[in-house]
Structure 1
């Protein structure tokens, strides 16, 4: 698409609901339900019971056994079902340390009134002994002390039997009874741990990373490699907890953040380009004009081109007795090239992040809308302006994170063993074409949204409105094309799995509260 060929007066398609597969996002939501949901403190118990009920019905289990299974399988009902179908019920229970033997009473001990506890070696009345599902029987005092220690150590979600090498998980109802008698507050803590296990141990549920914390958790219904928005407005990557960063993968972001930490790397980059280390004392030396012989403050002369130690005798063209080593020359050239490459991507990333920070502040836009509403006596829909601003913010974020993606994807290290140099160059050229299209049009949309269109006459106002609407639709298409290029061209032949949150035409999925 030619960046100068857009007719801003055409009825360009601008439908927020357009997405892949011929279905709108709204239609897909109606078929599958919301992709993510907010779990409040009030509905946490209901959310947990929903999954417990599924497993209880599937396997005819009690609640405590169902909970033990789900905690082991990280509250993934689908995984429990899959293991049950593929490996059988016995293997399912064995892996989760669940035993269903009904040995919970003391009938086997009724022949005598007193028995010996193997833990404390005390003689105890049989009615003060308790047998767990695994068949091991100890006195209630020992069980109680065991439970108190485990809960205080924070291991209350899966408290195993006291017997040597027995990993069977104890009945939570018995734990609750004995702990309540000794320490009611700790019993409440135990129940809270079990309840919060639904969030802490659940791979599809995570606390919102808001600061101060809003108290909400987010549950994704389908794919964990996604970006979500909490009810409090915080947007984040569900996989790594960082701010939304697609099309950059979580691993790429981790490497990029470490590389860009503070301003230290900028100093290192400048020094690697503009200085060389002395071969004797290893201090950095800057060359400011002159020939290729430089002398460190330690009085060691060396060659600026290759960094090798030399003597002092030289002329403008050569150093006496010295010939540059090609390997050192190539290494220095690669280091300089890599530094320049990193600086290029860093500068573009920072420039767009700075623009994003300014554009996220919608006070000026809201002021313009208020002025237009005050001027017009009739009811007029100004949602086109808000949609345009939201499209700008979404596109700017995507564009900014496309630079660390490109830095690692097309470098010589990240996937050097999987992409030949020729293939990497071809893919990089295709990607940069899409990237440049986004970059060109995003500046136009930013310019038109910044104009004082609330002060324009009717004709100029309508022209400005159509430009914003048209460019918003174009930006949606260009961003979608950028993601299609990544999915269908760049990543399609790789063996390494690179998980990138998919493009959403409507922006990041907003979580809705559980019914």
Structure 2
């Protein structure tokens, strides 16, 4: 495992001394590699309050033109098929128009006399059994007619119950959806507030019933929605700056699946405070394995089971524990841990604490590194004023962006590993030997990513705005180099998770958001241009060691 790690490092990582010796062929190969690893980013669109109506009307227009329908019937079809125009079209092709309409509650043949029946005759309403003038009776598309008071009462009840997007006809066993224009007209006469509520429900159904469009979960709510064109299992970013999982609307948690992240969040919320307190204030008794709290200064501790043990190392002792004599025990000698495995509860607790501590450590680093945005901008301004021949500082911003993405992937890789290689979620999916082999492969890739992320963090945090120009250029090379390295490592880890681990499950399906390397194209381009420039500049050094020519 160590040899594989070394060979990979030699393939992608270049030390300070090796930078000047890289030839143009190496840059060409690196450019080709970086282009191959860039996947297509998910196609998303932010829908604001102002653009919501226009987005809805675009889908309505497509269906109205496709089927020669009125807007209300097109909306009824789209609400039933969750605003999925492609699915609606596929059903139309595979089945027929009649099946499409009947499933959604759209009448196959629209009655001609829709609306009030202008007549001087008296009509008996079959709901309230009152005799009313014909002008106070309304007929729907399906052909059923009732008095306006009964229709209005029916509409008000449905709107208050939240059913206003699909209000069905009052006739027994009639699946037809009522005309929204008639609903709007009758309700607005006596309940203008409900009419506005009805309009809002129709408008918001584009988001509420559309699996490819969801509200941004920001708090306080920014009022925006996100539409994705490719896959609902992706991570998106709203114009308000919030990044979240499109599938479960929680924080972006890739490479954790939504189920893993839900379980991890609940477990941390339930156990983190208890685990932290136990870890800081207690030691496990070597006999009964129960947590013991020390209430005195002496490091000879006695458990309620009667066992004496050393607080310093947790080993069992006799009754005598002084600086000169410790019965059957020595604290000062280092020994390999050859003790038997503790009981299951203790083992599970230690395992959880292992992954929790590393998750917290990287999460804390991510929060601290997020504060670098303002500092980085100040460094760029300093460099612009200090070195007039340095004009392009995208390498700084791309380095910071790559650090954020890699650190976040590394952070959530620990909850993933906790459930992937544990006994609770995928028990019996793989043989123990196979699972252990895959765990070693995953942890090797995780370790390589961890090392390079720390290197990148070190270079980003350095006060390079105070460096001489030659050292700034060297830092620039290192940052661009590490951007490409961490991108490769992130992609390899995601491929391992998607194909080797989750892809081999037999009894369940776990989906993760695809790897997104936005910005790495520019980083790779800058890296290649920077190295090519350095190679050219190295061949044009003057006698005093300075590089001739302009640095871009």
Q: Give 1:447 deviation, angstroms.
A: 0.7
1:372 alignment partner in structure 2: 383
The yes-or-no answer on 1:338 pairing with 2:348 is yes
| Residue 107 of structure 1: how far off its partner (Å) | 11
| Secondary structure, aligned partner of 1:162 | coil
Corresponding residue SS for 1:79: helix
Q: 2:256 maps to which residue?
A: 248
2:205 aligns with: 197
**Is the counterpart of residue 70 in structure 1 residue 81 in structure 2?**
no
Matches within 5 A, 1:38-77: 38-77=46-85
Instruction: Find the counterpart in structure 1 of residue 395 from structure 2.
Output: 384
Secondary structure in 2 aligned to 1:491?
helix
Q: Which residue of 1 aligns with 2:510?
A: 498
Q: Does 1:7 align with 2:14?
A: yes
TM-score, scaled relative to structure 2: 0.77
Please list every run of 5 or more consecutive structure 2 residues that lacks an aligned counterpart in the other structure: 308-314, 317-326, 329-338, 521-552
Task: Tell me how far apart the structure 1 counterparts of residues 180 and 401 of structure 2 sit (CA, whole Å).
Answer: 49
Post-superposition shift, 1:268? 8.1
Per-residue deviation, 1:286: 6.2
Q: How many residues align?
A: 469
Shift of 1:18: 4.8
Q: Please give the root-mean-square deviation of Cα atoms over the aligned residues, in Å.
A: 3.4
Distance 1:67 1:421 in 2: 53
The answer to whether the aligner puts 1:424 opposite 2:470 as a matched pair is no
Larger mean Cα displacement after TM superposition, 469-478 or 486-495: 486-495
Separation in structure 1 between the aligned mates of residue 115 and residue 233 of structure 2, nearest angstrom: 52
Task: Tell me, in whole angstroms, the C-alpha distance in 2 between the residues paired with 1:86 and 1:340.
Answer: 56
1:15-69 C-alpha deviation (Å, 9 max, x unpaired): 7995658xx66xx67xxxx700011122111111111122223333221111111
- Structure with the bigger RCO (C-alpha within 8 Å, sep 6+) is 1
Which residue pairs with 2:370 in the alignment?
360
Asked whether the 8 Å contact 2:257–2:510 carries over to 1, the reply is yes
User: For residue 311 of structure 1, what is the aligned residue in structure 2?
Assistant: none
8 A Cα contact 1:16 1:506, kept in partner: no
Q: Is the 8 A contact 1:16 1:505 kept in 2?
A: no
SS in 1 for 2:204: helix
8 A contact 1:104–1:130 mirrored in 2: no
Is this contact kept in 1: 2:216–2:224, CA < 8 A? yes
Gaps of at least 5 residues in structure 1 are 297-303, 306-315, 318-328, 509-515
Give the match's secondary structure for 1:124. strand
Structure 1 length as normaliser, TM-score? 0.82
Corresponding residue of 1:485: 496
> How far 1:141 sits from its partner (Å)?
1.6
Which residue matches 1:313? Answer: none
Contact 1:14 1:470 (8 Å CA) reproduced: no
- Seen in structure 2, the aligned counterparts of structure 1 residues 450 and 278 have a Cα distance that, compared at 3 Å, is closer
**Would the aligned equivalents of 1:275 and 1:286 in 2 still touch at CA under 8 Å?**
no
Q: Could you report, residue by residue, the CA deviation over 1:203-228 in whole angstroms, capped at 9, with x for unpaired residues?
A: 11111122222221110011110001
- Separation of aligned partners in 1, 2:35 and 2:291: 54
User: For the structure 1 residues 203 and 191, does the alpha-carbon distance in structure 2 shift closer, same or farther, using more than 3 Å as the test?
Assistant: same
Q: Distance in 1 between matches of 2:130 and 2:242?
A: 57
8 A contact 2:278–2:291 mirrored in 1: no
Q: Offset of 1:14 from its aligned partner?
A: 7.5
Structure-to-structure mapping, 1:113-512, within 5 angstroms: 113-261=121-269, 263-267=272-276, 270=279, 274=284, 294-295=305-306, 333-361=343-371, 362-378=373-389, 380-495=391-506, 496-506=508-518
**Superimposed CA distance per residue, residues 246-285 of structure 1 (whole angstroms, 9 cap, x where no aligned partner):** 0011110000000101633415864997269999xxx976
- Structure 1, residues 88-125: CA drift from partner, whole Å, max 9, x if none? 33333233222233235279989981121011111012
Q: Is the alpha carbon distance of 1:62 and 1:396 closer, same or farther for their aligned partners in structure 2, counting shifts above 3 Å?
A: same
What is the distance in 2 between the residues matched to 1:210 and 1:107? 43
What is the distance in 1 between the residues matched to 2:31 and 2:201? 45
Would the aligned equivalents of 1:159 and 1:170 in 2 still touch at CA under 8 Å? yes
Equivalent residue in structure 2 for 1:98, among 97, 106, 112: 106
Residues in 2 aligned to 1:245 and 1:107: alpha-carbon distance in whole angstroms: 53
Distance in 2 separating the partners of 1:463 and 1:106 = 78
Q: 1:278 to 1:40 in 2, by over 3 A?
A: same
For residues 273 and 51 of structure 1, what CA distance do their matches in structure 2 show? 63
- CA change 1:373–1:422 in 2 (3 A) is same
- Partner of 1:477: helix, strand, or coil? helix
